[in-house]
Amino acid sequence: MNNKQFLTELSGKCQLTPEKTASQVQALIEVMENLWSNGDSVSLSGFGVLEVKKKNERVSVNPTTGVRMLIPPKLVLTYKPSSLLKDKLK
């Protein structure tokens, strides 16, 4: 499902125009980005938890050449689904 199909489906459920739905989704994404930039997590009941975690610096080895590389630390977005969602997907 692409973005346009998703917004069309969501606008039908919310009984809004696709344009209004797109602006609402964009607002939601902006709020979540602000929370993540402050180090907060986003917990959506029935869906799961989205949070930013720091991956530490590590050494990796290229299996072809055997060259060791230092991979710098970075921030990654993680998702943990709720147990309700897990049960629905079984």
The CATH classification number of 41-90 equals 4.10.520.10
Q: What is the pLDDT of residues 6-44, one digit of tens each?
A: 999 999 999 999 999 999 999 999 999 999 999 899 999
The residues spanned by each domain of the chain are: 1-40, 41-90
Q: Residue 83 pLDDT > 90, yes or no?
A: yes
Q: What is the pLDDT of residues 50-60, one digit of tens each?
A: 999 999 999 99
pLDDT of residue 26: 95
Long-range contacts of 51-60, Cβ-Cβ distance < 8 Å, separation of 24 or more: 51/77, 51/78, 52/76, 52/77, 52/78, 53/78
Q: Residue 90 pLDDT > 90, yes or no?
A: no
**Residue 62: pLDDT band by 50, 70, 90 thresholds?**
very high
